[in-house]
Amino acid sequence: MSEYTQTERTRVKRGAKRANYDKETVNAILDEALLCHVSTQLNGKPLLQPTIHWRDGDQLYVHGSSKNGLFKVLLEGAEACIAVTLLDGIVFARSAFHHSVNYRSVLIYGHARLVDDPDEKSRSLDQLIEKFHEGRSKEARPANETELKATSVIAFTLDEVSAKIRTGGPVDDAEDMNLPVWAGVQPVITTLGEIEFESEG
Amino acid sequence: MSEYTQTERTRVKRGAKRANYDKETVNAILDEALLCHVSTQLNGKPLLQPTIHWRDGDQLYVHGSSKNGLFKVLLEGAEACIAVTLLDGIVFARSAFHHSVNYRSVLIYGHARLVDDPDEKSRSLDQLIEKFHEGRSKEARPANETELKATSVIAFTLDEVSAKIRTGGPVDDAEDMNLPVWAGVQPVITTLGEIEFESEG
């Protein structure tokens, strides 16, 4: 545990006070977020794809069709940058300039590894389903060979990683504190609703 | 209005039935989402940054510090790919393989334009504040010259754009429909909470 080593590009330049390299903090963000964005480049053009992710120890997993074009580029050796971002609040300051948002974000640089070991692939796909609903991997009909073949799982080792976090209220300039302008924070709340069950077949 | 012209890379390959090029649909996703991810590349390495965005007609805006490193790369001519993604639900199928998520996502390719016209810059920053809270641009203390100088606004013309949308329940294989496994959709709901006001200074 403890901290990720900072590299030139994971060292947060703008708003350095918001930087965080603590592994436990990073893991909590990765585990809470359902969504990530995976980017890479091909011939000098950016590629970007939203997808769902999950984590086991220092491995971050994403999955997709075995024909996924972005995965192909990554598995040919292109570097990935993955962002996981949680928006927590809208920060209203007394001045327009100091308006802000509260957030927790993680950036991960790394190279993809194809998960081709059958045990790791099965286990990791179970972990994906468990992340979304505990116990579900034991309820649903397991993937058959054709389905497993149609699915690619790729993994990234959490190594070159940084988090950036803003919390709390507005930070106004001293001379603005007495302006007759309200200030505060509006929470942005993401919740899972009640499951809408389908009638049984 | 009407539709975006498909290009080789905005034509959705995987899950083509989910593709959508309707401008009104795209605009609704861009306007509802508070968060976007901007990617580009520098010397064959991916760069990726989460930020907030707003829209006026066919212009998508983002802003940041005038020292923002990603903006510098974009304004030197590197192409951007921007993703805007809303996660709407978790789809539980009878088989592990057909589990899915409901989502609405937009991908935008383009080149950044620095908003250096003072009128457009002021107007667009007002629009940003209005997106988060109607009327706020008339309440908060306006930005002064120093603050405007410290802020860069960049714009992208919405031109090479596609959306991908999944809605509805699980799509199970016919032979799985009678399995004794529940199925359904769990909504993912994002709401804005009550503003927590700061006491006046």
Interface of A with B in 101-140 (CB under 8 A): 101, 103, 105, 107, 125-126, 129, 132-133, 136-137, 139-140
| Cβ neighbours, 10 Å, residue B132 | 18
Q: In whole angstroms, what is the distance from residue A70 CA to residue A54 CA? A: 18
Q: Which of A13, A36, A126, A182 to mutate to test the interface with B (most CBs of B within 10 A)?
A: A182
Residue B94 in contact with partner chain A when CB distance is under 8 A:
yes
B94 vs A40, A46, A141: nearest CB: A141
Question: Lowest-confidence range among A76-80, A197-201, B88-92, B101-105?
Answer: A197-201
Q: What is the mean pLDDT of chain A?
A: 96
> pLDDT digits over A141-187, tens only?
999 999 999 999 999 999 999 999 999 999 999 999 999 999 999 99
B118 has a pLDDT exceeding 90: yes
B166 has a pLDDT exceeding 90: yes
Q: What is the pLDDT of residue B69?
A: 96
Residue A92's nearest CA partner among B147, B140, B200 is B140
Could you give the percent of chain A with pLDDT greater than 90? 95
B181 vs A90, A140, A176: nearest CB: A140
Residues 6 or more apart whose CB falls under 8 angstroms from that of B6 comprise B21, B162
> pLDDT digits over A93-126, tens only?
999 999 999 999 999 999 999 999 999 999 999 9
HEC string of chain B equals: CCECCCCCCCCCCCCHHHEECEHHHHHHHHHHCCEEEEEEEECCEEEEEEEEEEEECCEEEEEEECCCHHHHHHHCCCCEEEEEEEEEEEEECCECCCCEEEEEEEEEEECCEECCCHHHHHHHHHHHHHHHCCCHHHCCECCCHHHHHHEEEEEEECCEEEEEEECCCCCCCHHHCCCCCCCEEEEEEEEECCCEECCCC
B201 has a pLDDT exceeding 60: no
CATH architecture of A16-168+181-187: Roll (2.30)
Q: What is the pLDDT of residue A132?
A: 97
The length of chain A in residues reads 201
Q: What is the pLDDT of residue B200?
A: 63
Q: What is the pLDDT of residue B16?
A: 84
> pLDDT digits over A22-36, tens only?
999 999 999 999 999
Q: Which residue of A has its CA nearest to B49?
A: A83
CATH number for the domain whose boundaries are B17-169+181-187: 2.30.110.10
Residue ranges covered by each domain of chain A: 16-168+181-187
Q: Quote ipTM for the complex.
A: 0.96
Q: Rounded to 5 degrees, what angle do the CA atoms B78, B79, B81 make?
A: 140
What's the pLDDT band for A7 if we cut at 50, 70, 90?
A: very high
Q: CB contacts < 8 Å between A and B, how many?
A: 250
User: Taking residues B50-59, what's their average pLDDT?
Assistant: 98
Q: What is the pLDDT of residue B91?
A: 98
Three-state secondary structure call for residue A189: strand
Beta-bridge mates of residue A191: B189
B141 vs A96, A150, A198: nearest CB: A96
Residues of B in contact with A45 (CB under 8 A): 41, 79, 81
Could you give the percent of chain A with pLDDT greater than 70? 99
